[in-house]
């Protein structure tokens, strides 16, 4: 599919209403002078607009309409084959000093970077339409909500932003009524979708983002990783709240007692799946509901607890592996109104991917647009193929998802993809130790970003690619939040991905993660035991309910919960090495936590 579209000529009345906001108007004019679009389309978020843009995107071959009977209201987009994931090596934090970005971020000097980007953007939209997208992140009446404007020359971005954010006039109204007048300016241009001219640059001081040369979600839906996390985390530190790469779920017991939990797992490590979990049969009467599947904005509320909102309005989820067996709620969500990217197209206009229920089709068009049969050695869907779907489609959407002050968080869970070392679950001693658990998180890399897959790397709080400032300072910010909470969440660490000697996962995961969640809730309620290990509180085998599990024997459970001194010796070395890279910005408390764990192993 050719993603570089010529200018569109909308019918009268569509795309012609600019917001009456001087700052926005001036900025748009400035970008238009630079990029020289044929025309400007002001998005209002209306259904008519969406219908028109979908037709136009089809006409230009940017999206393909799927079979209306099989997947109503749904479309397939293929991104450029060189452009299928986030590009961390081309992602920059442009703070005045390198120290502000810290050693874990790519840094570039702001003035020089603006100059360079302006050079690339000069005339970049000639003969094309420039879209201006107003949007809000967060429930509109939330004190945490943020307004952003994204300029883009990609219809796919407009269609996606309408799903992923609260887009259109609602954002303009919010900005007009806002006290501080704060808004994010995002500029995106596909250029020629050339990896050599691909840059995702953040200017936290200016609340600004410029992204060029890509058309892939995480690089171009500037609301998501760019605003909600990189710029968000920067603002959160200034303003005293937290912007985190976390899902938010509600869990209700058969007695009707409800808790909310937030969990940070790195990209493609199970957030969407956990957020939509369906409890196994044994857990009759338990209900899990989704507040968010990727990002949490959390503030200290009047009740002295940490409250979280999901800033997004939709899910941009990993497709491969999604099935009725692994995640029936996701399957129900994506059976209509879905914008698919880089999955396979069947001959009857349906979509297919590795891990979908049922037999593979005898023939399909793969994510690159080539013929595919089950005999093909290549994947039909890209491993990082995605769905974008409105959160309203989720059958287990939490009723409090629009609540402005957010939902009270009882537990925070950190977790990574680790073949060894990390037990299925354990609990931190307190907030400071929990911050240490988050700070030392590591995970095997996945297809969500370009680069090698399966390599263990430190990914503190799952924020390594998303923290908009110095990681050591970010830890300091975390350490300050805990003591300000009257009733801080308990902090846990999980690992669904531990493997046995045969190289297979020891834990079946997915719905069965409810068993771990139950232990976590019971810990919050103080009604279940644990063993005090050097690393924290680890459940004893009898503390976890494994009744009805076929593949988890008590020996397997013991293995899943084991804390092996030799593995931990290596782990502690890896943690120390990582901490050293952070230099003097690393809070002393975290070094002390590290030494305490090491000492506990020795005694």
What does the binding site for ligand SPV look like in residue numbers (CB under 6 A)? 86, 217-218, 224-225, 267, 294, 316, 448
> Which candidate in 94, 269, 467, 524 is catalytic?
269
Within 10 A of 473 (CB to CB), how many other CB atoms are there? 18
Q: Which two tokens mark 153?
A: 């020359």
Residue 269 bears catalytic tag: yes
CB of 522 to ligand SPV, least distance (A): 30
Q: Which stretch binds ligand GTP (CB under 6 A): 162-170, 199-207, 314-322, 576-584?
A: 314-322
- Please report, as residue ranges, which positions from 60 to 89 form the binding site for ligand GTP (by CB under 6 A): none
CB of 335 to ligand GTP, least distance (A): 17
Select from Mn ion, ligand GTP, ligand SPV, none the partner in contact with residue 273, using the beta carbon and a kind-dependent cut-off of 5 to 8 Å.
ligand GTP
CA dist 386 and 478 (Å) reads 31
Find the binder of ligand GTP among 40, 93, 200, 269 (CB under 6 A): 269
Residue 283 near ligand GTP by CB under 6 A = no
CA dist 180 and 174 (Å) reads 11
Q: What is the DSSP string of 549-597?
A: -SS--HHHHHHHH---HHHHHHHHHHHHHHHHHTGGGS-HHHHHHHHHH
Find the binder of ligand GTP among 124, 301, 334, 448 (CB under 6 A): 448
Residue 451 near ligand GTP by CB under 6 A = no
Residue 229 near ligand GTP by CB under 6 A = no
CB of 43 to ligand GTP, least distance (A): 25
Q: Which two tokens mark 168?
A: 């259109």
Nearest-CB residue for ligand SPV: 218
Select from ligand SPV, ligand GTP, Mn ion, none the partner in contact with residue 272, using the beta carbon and a kind-dependent cut-off of 5 to 8 Å.
ligand GTP
The single residue listed with the structure tokens 């997947």 is 71
Select from Mn ion, ligand GTP, ligand SPV, none the partner in contact with residue 225, using the beta carbon and a kind-dependent cut-off of 5 to 8 Å.
ligand SPV
Question: Among residues 147 and 220, whose Cβ is nearest to ligand GTP?
Answer: 220
Element (H, E) at 167: strand 166-167
CA dist 581 and 457 (Å) reads 13
CB of 50 to ligand GTP, least distance (A): 24
The contact pattern for Mn ion, residues 229-268, with x = CB under 5 A and - = no contact, is --------------------------------------x-
Output DSSP code: residue 489: P
Question: Among residues 153 and 244, whose Cβ is nearest to Mn ion?
Answer: 244
Find the binder of ligand GTP among 436, 510, 537, 578 (CB under 6 A): 510
Beta strands in 223-352 (DSSP E): 242-244, 247-252, 258-264, 287-292, 296-300, 306-309, 314-318, 339-341, 344-346, 351-352
Residue 519 to residues 110, 474, 543, Cα–Cα distance (Å): 48, 29, 7
Find the binder of Mn ion among 83, 293, 294, 337 (CB under 5 A): 294
Residue 509 near ligand GTP by CB under 6 A = yes
Q: Are 134 and 158 in contact (CB under 8 A)?
A: no
Within 10 A of 597 (CB to CB), how many other CB atoms are there? 20
The contact pattern for ligand GTP, residues 127-166, with x = CB under 6 A and - = no contact, is ----------------------------------------
Comparing CA positions, the residue from 115, 85, 120, 91 lying closest to residue 104 is 91
Q: What is the DSSP string of 429-481?
A: SSHHHHHHHHHT-EEE--TTBSS-SS-EEE-GGG-TTT-SS-HHHHHHHHHHH
Residue 465 near ligand GTP by CB under 6 A = no
Residue 402 to residues 140, 145, 310, 313, Cα–Cα distance (Å): 8, 11, 9, 10
Cα-to-chain-centroid distance, residue 200 = 17
Residue 114 near ligand GTP by CB under 6 A = no
Residues that bind ligand GTP (CB under 6 A): 265, 267-273, 293-294, 317-318, 320-321, 326, 448, 496-497, 505, 509-510, 513
Residues that bind Mn ion (CB under 5 A): 267, 294
Catalytic (active-site) positions: 269
């Amino acid at each position: 599919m050719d993603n570089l579209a010529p200018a569109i000529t909308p019918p009268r009345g569509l795309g012609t209403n600019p917001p009456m906001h001087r700052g926005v108007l001036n900025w748009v004019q400035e970008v238009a002078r630079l990029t020289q679009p044929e025309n400007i389309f002001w998005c209002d978020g209306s259904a008519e607009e969406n219908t028109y843009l979908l037709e136009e995107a089809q006409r230009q071959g940017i999206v393909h309409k799927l079979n209306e009977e099989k997947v109503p209201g749904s479309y397939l987009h293929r991104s450029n084959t060189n452009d299928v994931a986030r590009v961390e090596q081309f992602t920059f934090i442009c703070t005045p000093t390198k120290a502000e970005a810290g050693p874990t971020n790519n840094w570039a000097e702001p003035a020089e970077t603006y100059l360079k980007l302006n050079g690339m953007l000069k005339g970049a939209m000639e003969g094309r339409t420039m879209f201006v997208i107003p949007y809000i992140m967060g429930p509109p009446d939330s004190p945490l909500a943020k307004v952003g404007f994204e300029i883009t020359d990609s219809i796919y971005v407009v269609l996606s932003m309408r799903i992923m954010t609260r887009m259109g006039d609602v954002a303009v109204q919010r900005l007009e009524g806002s006290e501080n007048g704060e808004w994010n300016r995002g500029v995106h241009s596909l250029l020629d979708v050339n990896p050599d001219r691909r840059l995702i640059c953040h200017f936290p001081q200016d609340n600004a983002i410029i992204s060029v040369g890509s058309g892939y979600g995480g690089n171009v839906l500037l609301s998501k990783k760019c605003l909600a996390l990189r710029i968000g985390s920067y603002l959160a530190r200034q303003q005293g709240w937290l912007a985190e790469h976390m899902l938010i779920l509600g869990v209700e017991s058969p007695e009707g007692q409800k808790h909310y939990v937030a969990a940070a797992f790195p990209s493609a490590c199970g957030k969407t799946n956990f957020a939509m979990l369906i409890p196994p049969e044994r857990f009759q009467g338990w209900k899990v509901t989704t507040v968010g599947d990727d990002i949490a904005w959390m503030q200290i509320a009047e009740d002295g607890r940490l409250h979280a909102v999901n800033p997004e309005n939709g899910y941009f989820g990993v497709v491969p592996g999604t099935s009725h067996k692994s995640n029936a709620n996701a399957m129900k969500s994506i059976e209509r109104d879905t914008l698919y990217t880089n999955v396979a197209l069947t001959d009857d206009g349906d979509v297919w991917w590795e891990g979908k229920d049922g037999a593979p089709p005898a023939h399909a068009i793969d994510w690159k647009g080539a013929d595919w049969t089950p005999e093909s050695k290549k994947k039909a869907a890209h491993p990082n193929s995605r769905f974008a779907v409105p959160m309203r489609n989720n059958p287990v959407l939490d009723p409090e998802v629009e609540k402005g002050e957010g939902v009270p968080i009882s537990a925070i869970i950190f977790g990574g993809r680790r073949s060894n070392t990390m037990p299925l679950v354990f609990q931190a001693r307190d907030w400071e130790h929990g911050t240490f658990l988050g700070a030392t998180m590591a995970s095997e890399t996945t297809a969500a970003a370009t680069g090698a897959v399966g390599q263990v790397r430190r990914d503190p709080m799952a924020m390594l690619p998303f923290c908009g400032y110095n990681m050591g300072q970010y830890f300091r910010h975390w350490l300050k939040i805990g003591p300000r909470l009257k009733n801080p969440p308990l902090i846990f660490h999980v690992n669904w991905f531990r493997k046995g000697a045969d190289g297979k996962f020891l834990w079946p995961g997915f719905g069965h993660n409810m068993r771990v969640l139950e232990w976590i809730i019971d810990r919050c309620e103080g009604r279940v035991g644990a063993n005090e290990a050097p690393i924290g509180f680890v459940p004893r085998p009898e503390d976890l309910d494994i009744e009805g599990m076929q593949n988890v024997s008590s020996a397997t459970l013991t293995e899943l919960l084991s804390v092996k001194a030799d593995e931990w010796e290596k782990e502690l070395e890896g943690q120390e090495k990582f901490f050293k890279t952070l230099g003097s910005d690393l809070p002393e408390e975290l070094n002390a936590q590290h030494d305490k764990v090491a000492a506990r192993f020795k005694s």
